[in-house]
Structure 1
Amino acid sequence: MSLLLYNLFLLVYRSALHLAAIFNPKARLWVDGRKNWQNALKVALGKKTGPIVWMHCASLGEFEQGRPLLEFIRSIYPGHTILVTFFSPSGYEIRKNYPGADITCYLPLDGARTARKFIEMVQPVLVLWIRYEFWYYYLHRLKALKVPVLLVSGLFRGTEPFFHWYGKLHRYMLSCFTHLFVQNEDSVEKLRKIGSYSVSVSGDTRYDRVSAIAAQFEPLPLIEQFINGKKAIVAGSTWPEDEEELDHFANSNQKLRFIIAPHEIGEMHLKEIEQLFAHSIRYSHWVKNPVAMPEGPDTPNVLIIDNIGMLAKLYYYASVAYIGGGFGGDGLHNILEAAVYGVPVIYGPVYEKFPEAVDLIAAGGSFTVESALELEVKLTELLEDEKVHAEAARAASDFVKSRKGATALISNYIQENRLITN
Structure 2
Amino acid sequence: MLSTNKKLYIKISLAFLLTHSITFAASVSDIENIEKNLIKTETELLTPELRLDELFAERSKYDGIGGWFQNSKKKALDAEIEKEQEKVKTLTNELKNLNNQVQEMVYQVAQSYESKKDYEKAIEYYLKVANRTDTVRQRIAVCFKAQKNYMQAVKWYLEMKRSDTVLIEVVDCCKLDGKDKEAIYWLFEILEPLNDNSAETTAFKLIEEYKYQNLKVDYPNFFERLSKIYISKAFNNYGNNPTQANADYKKAVALLCEETSAHESSISLKIVNSYQDNYTEALEILAKQKEAAERNFQDKINEANRDIREAEHRLRRAQDDAERHYRNTLTNAENSLNHANKRYSEIMAKPEATQQEKDYAKRQVDSAQRELTRVRNSRHEIVRDYLRPYERELESAKREKYNLERDKIQIIENYISPYKNKAENAKKLLQMVKTLHNNNF
Same fold, TM exceeding 0.5? Answer: no
- Structure having the larger proportion of residues in strand: 1
Larger RCO, structure (CA 8 Å, separation 6 or more): 1
TM-score when scaled to structure 2?
A: 0.22
The structure with the largest alpha-carbon Rg is: 2
- Structure having the larger proportion of residues in helix: 2
TM-score when scaled to structure 1?
A: 0.23
